[in-house]
Structure 1
Amino acid sequence: MTFLYFAYGSNMLTARLQARCPSAQPVGRAEARGWSVDFVKPALDGSSKAGLVQQHQTSMQGVLFRLDKADLPALDRAEAVGKGYDRDDSFEVWSFVEGRVQSVVTYLPLQILDGLQPYDWYHRLCREGARQHGLPSHALEWLENVSITVDPMPDRPARLQALEALRRSGLET
């Protein structure tokens, strides 16, 4: 059994998601209509993570992945279900591959807080994932202009994992 997952943050980078969920295979781009993405989800480390924000008259693109159901618990752990995000099993996106609306799994932030910035390594995962999957130029331009913070802990395990995912993607770290 498999399911479709809509990634819009750091999990857009295939190597990042596959490190968490080995069965993950990219399907193509999708669009969440009536939603935007911003770095508004507070993280325990004091930075921010990407979060979907309901916003009528707008839309944003992300990446659809097909995963084995057996990987769902690992994805839930990575997204801190119940603490950081809630899982939505019937989130609707427009699939560019299928040319229709599809119901998929995604994660919505439990809390939204303005004024935080993503760490440099997390932001790079998002940016490189968007590039890897050919998100539109306006999305890439928006990402290029996001204010970021350099992680004060260079040996942070999450940072080291992110750098490894970037390396596996053939990107200099």
Structure 2
Amino acid sequence: MVPERTDSISTFAYFAFGSNMLKERLCLENPSATFLDIGRLKDYQLDFGLWAESVASSWHGGVATIRQSPGSEVWGVIWTIRRDQLDNLDHQEGIHEGLYSPLEVTVESSNHGEMLCRTYQMNNFHASPTSPQYKHVVCWGAEQNGLPGDYIGGLQAVKTNNYTGPSMLDRIEVHTNWE
């Protein structure tokens, strides 16, 4: 295994598999995020849910997590982020509230071989359908970064809860209109 590869020791490699695959979403809280590569995490599967039964979320539905599953794989985006923004990412992922736990995983990158990356796994997972808005952001990020077409097709096939109100997507769209 090759240790994490980044441009300098002042950055870390982060493997995003949910809404943070979309650059505009990730950069709301982590402006130094720079695309490095796409990658595949073996022996894990992607799930959508909440960290407690019937809890409210800013996405109005389930959000992405990973869980171990021999023979499965999760595709995502490998970003480099400045170390001084690690607290921002941890806060976004709800580490201090116990919503997610950080993991160090080995990801097979398309152009850099195996890389050690930080990622996050939901605690106390309860399956819950995602909102159409969250699914849109996940698919948008997968397309934006060139994940394999069959994997994107699987993301597009995810069933939603049909929520139609405001969501975090509104904040992303407003932010992208500023630029």
TM range (shorter): 0.7 to 0.9
1:134 to 112, 137, 146: 146
Which ranges of structure 2 fall in alignment gaps of 5 or more residues? 1-9
Deviation at residue 111 of structure 1 after TM alignment: 2.1
| Fraction of identical pairs, as percent | 25
1:96 aligns with 2:110: yes
Contact 2:42 2:73 in 1 (8 A): yes
Counting only pairs closer than 5 Å after superposition, residues 1-173 of structure 1 correspond to structure 2 as 1-42=10-51, 44-45=56-57, 47-81=61-95, 82-88=97-103, 90-99=104-113, 101-114=114-127, 116-151=128-163, 153-154=165-166, 156=167, 158-164=168-174, 167=177
Q: TM-score, normalised by structure 1?
A: 0.86
Contact 2:137 2:169 in 1 (8 A): no
SS in 1 for 2:126: coil
Which has the higher mean CA deviation after the structures are superposed, 54-63 or 90-99? 90-99
Distance in structure 1 (CA, Å) of the matches to 2:107 and 2:94: 22
The alignment yields a C-alpha RMSD, in angstroms, of 1.9
Deviation at residue 151 of structure 1 after TM alignment: 3.3
Contact 1:26 1:64 in 2 (8 A): yes
Contact 1:24 1:65 in 2 (8 A): yes
Matched to 1:85, the amino acid is: Y
Distance in structure 2 (CA, Å) of the matches to 1:94 and 1:86: 21
Matched to 1:163, the amino acid is: E
Distance in structure 2 (CA, Å) of the matches to 1:92 and 1:41: 25
Which ranges of structure 1 fall in alignment gaps of 5 or more residues? none
Deviation string 1:9-54 (CA, Å, 9 cap, x unpaired) is: 0000011111110000000111101011121334533610001011
Matched to 1:18, the amino acid is: C
Aligned CA distance change for structure 1 residues 72 and 159 (closer, same or farther; 3 Å): same
